[in-house]
């Protein structure tokens, strides 16, 4: 059965796929998007959005707990969580956004084909339950799925993935989280606020090993101050069912008891769309070059599926670049996806955000000027009783080039976009220190940190005595 011929067929309707579909249509290409599940992909259905909906609920509980400090009297301070209702509200937000994506695709004239896509050749695609379709160019945007580890007991009931925990119907009294990366830390914050006793087990020497060490240390301290147990440098050997509870045996023989276990140890590419194609892969991801093209000419692979930067906003950019290169007219120069200034955020409360190099990475490249502005000197953070945090800036000592910015504090996820913009525009710390920022704002701490890297910050005491 032979179906329609398209200029571009996109397989996968997550951030990379739907952005690619819309971009291709905008550029005048006859476009179809094949999706085996719901449009919106991991991000909208089981990632960015649902976790942030739960995090907001957790943050509200946290704020209520701190209300009496501000002089607010609450008659019955007992707070508990109606989990089915929390999940229902989260699902409402997800539905609004996925519905929005479907409407955008339709409004741009992209044909949405429901089914599992599989490449037969670089130009023919089989779709389960649908006629085969043809494409001049293909965008493989299959994204990622939960990685599995060969550890005994991971298949037991009560051992959940990051997808499954998003639909949990009750708050587990004891939750053990395997993996202290971004998902593990966000889930720890959520369930700690909901009332669980949370333990994190991380095999690396510290949680959030991909973040700057000062950021990771402060987030660890905050989690611990709220009652979390954090075990680092130790892996999990097995999980056993012991009566009603789960018993986790760690590499050193130590045993942890849990009511539920969350396994958040990473994600691997969903390669189901590759089908019969001989395409270069590495560690479970499709190899794509800077132009987002795979080893098969005319087949592009933006987003999580190539593993370059597994973030939704990076997926959007990679998708735009892939489509431009796929449909560009003869003579138009190819575009590269520049992923040097992609901000990354851990939506803990307070938030932790970063762009560019960590201190450890920057110091490997040469002498570094460090600017550090603690939020305990920031008026806006103090008024919000959220002064636990800092803005840290790393610059090269010669020209003042900004190498990295690391923030823990309220609004860090927003402020980091300013830092990314300045770095992309090659603004130096000298120039940043001169940019007037509104007062009182948390973001003025970015300007203050730049000034500190030059030894001329007004609002913190001098490190050396004058004269």
Ligand X SMILES: Cc1cc2nc3c(=O)[nH]c(=O)nc-3n(C[C@H](O)[C@H](O)[C@H](O)COP(=O)(O)OP(=O)(O)OC[C@H]3O[C@@H](n4cnc5c(N)ncnc54)[C@H](O)[C@@H]3O)c2cc1C
Alpha helices by DSSP H, listed for 264-404, are 312-327, 359-365, 379-383
Please tell me whether residue 292 binds ligand X under the rule CB under 6 A. no
Task: Count other C-beta atoms under 10 Å from residue 439's C-beta.
Answer: 9
Please tell me whether residue 272 binds ligand X under the rule CB under 6 A. yes
Number of chain positions touching ligand X (CB under 6 A): 37
> What is d(CA 127, CA 133) in angstroms, rounded to the nearest whole number?
8
Site string for ligand X, 149-178 (x = CB under 6 A): -------------x----------------
The secondary structure of the chain in percent helix, strand, coil, rounded to multiples of 5, reads 35, 25, 40
Window contacting ligand X (CB under 6 A); options: 12-20, 100-108, 321-329, 450-458 = 12-20
Please tell me whether residue 181 binds ligand X under the rule CB under 6 A. no
Let me know if 71 is exposed, middle or buried by CB neighbors in 10 A (0-12, 13-18, 19+). exposed
Alpha helices by DSSP H, listed for 67-181, are 83-107
Half-sphere exposure of residue 150, counting CA atoms within 13 Å on the CB side? Answer: 0
Q: Closest separation between CB of residue 347 and ligand X, Å?
A: 6
Dihedral angle of Cα 206, 208, 212, 215, to the nearest 10 degrees: -90
Q: Closest separation between CB of residue 10 and ligand X, Å?
A: 9
Cβ contact 189:58 at 8 Å? yes
* Chosen residue from 111, 202, 212, 270 binding ligand X by CB under 6 A: 270
Q: Quote the radius of gyration of the chain (alpha carbons, Å).
A: 24
Please tell me whether residue 59 binds ligand X under the rule CB under 6 A. no
Nearer to ligand X, 37 or 361 (CB): 37
> What is d(CA 460, CA 448) in angstroms, rounded to the nearest whole number?
9
The structure tokens 């769309």 sit at 273
Nearer to ligand X, 160 or 429 (CB): 160
Tokens encoding 209: 């090993």
CA angle 289, 145, 288 (to 5 degrees): 5
Nearer to ligand X, 183 or 432 (CB): 183
Q: Closest separation between CB of residue 335 and ligand X, Å?
A: 18
Please report the DSSP string for 389-414 in residue order: -EEEEEEETTT-BEEEEEEEETTHHH
Please tell me whether residue 446 binds ligand X under the rule CB under 6 A. no
* Chosen residue from 8, 22, 29, 43 binding ligand X by CB under 6 A: 43
> What is d(CA 325, CA 352) in angstroms, rounded to the nearest whole number?
34
Nearer to ligand X, 15 or 410 (CB): 15
Within 183-222, which residues bind ligand X (CB under 6 A)? 183
Please tell me whether residue 179 binds ligand X under the rule CB under 6 A. no
Residue 406 annotated to the active site: no
* Residue among 420, 390, 407 nearest 352 (CA): 407
Please tell me whether residue 16 binds ligand X under the rule CB under 6 A. yes
Cβ contact 26:155 at 8 Å? no
Number of residues written out for the chain: 467
> What is d(CA 59, CA 75) in angstroms, rounded to the nearest whole number?
20
Q: Which helix (H) or strand (E) holds 8?
A: strand 2-11
**Residues 6 or more apart from 227 whose CB is under 8 A from it?**
192, 197, 198
Q: Closest separation between CB of residue 213 and ligand X, Å?
A: 22
Nearer to ligand X, 143 or 400 (CB): 143
Please tell me whether residue 17 binds ligand X under the rule CB under 6 A. yes
Please tell me whether residue 371 binds ligand X under the rule CB under 6 A. no
Tokens encoding 453: 């890297």
Half-sphere exposure of residue 222, counting CA atoms within 13 Å on the CB side? Answer: 24
Within 304-333, which residues bind ligand X (CB under 6 A)? 304-305, 310-313, 315
Nearer to ligand X, 17 or 404 (CB): 17
Tokens encoding 330: 């003869």
Q: Closest separation between CB of residue 43 and ligand X, Å?
A: 3
Please tell me whether residue 350 binds ligand X under the rule CB under 6 A. no
Site string for ligand X, 126-145 (x = CB under 6 A): ---------------xxxx-
Window contacting ligand X (CB under 6 A); options: 29-37, 81-89, 188-196, 426-434 = 29-37
> What is d(CA 433, CA 369) in angstroms, rounded to the nearest whole number?
14
Please tell me whether residue 42 binds ligand X under the rule CB under 6 A. yes
Q: Closest separation between CB of residue 264 and ligand X, Å?
A: 8
Please tell me whether residue 226 binds ligand X under the rule CB under 6 A. no
Q: Closest separation between CB of residue 45 and ligand X, Å?
A: 7
Please tell me whether residue 15 binds ligand X under the rule CB under 6 A. yes
Nearer to ligand X, 164 or 363 (CB): 164
Say which of 313, 406, 439, 459 is annotated catalytic.
Answer: 439
Q: Closest separation between CB of residue 301 and ligand X, Å?
A: 9
CA angle 304, 305, 308 (to 5 degrees): 60
> What is d(CA 417, CA 425) in angstroms, rounded to the nearest whole number?
12
Nearer to ligand X, 303 or 400 (CB): 303
Window contacting ligand X (CB under 6 A); options: 1-9, 66-74, 270-278, 388-396 = 270-278
Q: Closest separation between CB of residue 75 and ligand X, Å?
A: 36
Q: Give contact residues for ligand X (rule: CB under 6 A).
A: 11-17, 34-37, 41-43, 47-48, 51, 116-117, 141-144, 162, 183, 270, 272-273, 303-305, 310-313, 315, 347
Kindly list the catalytic residues. 439
């Amino acid at each position: 059965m032979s179906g329609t011929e398209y200029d571009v067929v996109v397989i996968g309707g997550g951030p990379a796929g739907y952005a690619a579909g819309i971009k291709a249509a905008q550029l005048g290409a006859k476009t179809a998007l094949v999706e085996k599940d719901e449009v919106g992909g991991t991000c909208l259905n089981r990632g960015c959005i649902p976790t942030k909906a739960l995090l907001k609920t957790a943050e509200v509980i946290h704020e209520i707990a701190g209300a009496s400090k501000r002089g607010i009297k609450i008659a019955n301070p007992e707070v508990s969580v109606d989990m089915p209702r929390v999940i229902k509200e989260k699902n409402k937000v997800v539905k609004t956004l996925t519905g929005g994506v479907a409407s955008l695709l339709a409004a741009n004239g992209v044909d949405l084909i429901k089914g599992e896509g599989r490449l037969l050749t670089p130009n023919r695609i089989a779709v389960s339950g649908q006629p085969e379709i043809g494409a001049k160019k293909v965008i493989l945007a299959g994204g990622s799925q939960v990685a599995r580890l060969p550890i005994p007991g991971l298949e037991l009931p009560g051992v959940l993935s990051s997808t499954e925990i998003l639909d949990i119907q009750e708050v587990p009294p004891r939750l053990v989280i395997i993996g202290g990366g971004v998902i593990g830390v966000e889930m720890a914050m959520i369930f700690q606020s909901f009332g669980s006793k949370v333990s994190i087990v991380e095999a690396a020497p510290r949680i959030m090993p991909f973040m700057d060490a000062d950021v990771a240390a402060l987030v660890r301290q905050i989690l611990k101050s709220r009652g979390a147990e954090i075990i680092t440098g130790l892996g999990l050997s097995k999980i056993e069912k012991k009566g009603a509870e789960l018993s986790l045996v760690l590499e050193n023989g130590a045993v942890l008891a849990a009511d539920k276990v969350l396994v958040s140890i990473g994600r691997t590419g969903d390669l189901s769309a590759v089908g019969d194609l001989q395409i270069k892969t590495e560690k479970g991801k499709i190899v794509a070059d800077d132009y987002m093209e795979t080893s098969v000419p005319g087949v592009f692979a933006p987003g999580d599926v190539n593993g370059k930067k597994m973030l939704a906003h990076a997926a959007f950019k990679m998708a735009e670049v892939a489509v431009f290169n796929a449909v560009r007219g003869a003579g138009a120069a190819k575009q590269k996806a520049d992923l040097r200034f992609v901000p990354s955020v851990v939506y803990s409360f307070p938030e932790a955000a970063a762009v560019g190099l960590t201190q450890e990475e920057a110091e490997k490249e040469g002498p570094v000027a460090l600017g550090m502005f603690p939020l305990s000197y920031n008026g806006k953070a103090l008024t919000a009783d959220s002064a636990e945090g800092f803005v840290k800036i790393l610059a090269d000592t010669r020209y003042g080039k900004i190498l990295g910015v690391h923030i823990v504090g309220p609004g860090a996820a927003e402020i980091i976009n300013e830092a990314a913009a300045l770095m992309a525009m090659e603004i130096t710390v000298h120039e940043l220190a001169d940019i007037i920022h509104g007062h009182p704002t948390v973001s003025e701490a970015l300007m203050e940190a730049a000034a500190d890297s030059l030894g001329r910050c007004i609002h913190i005491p001098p490190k050396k005595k004058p004269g």
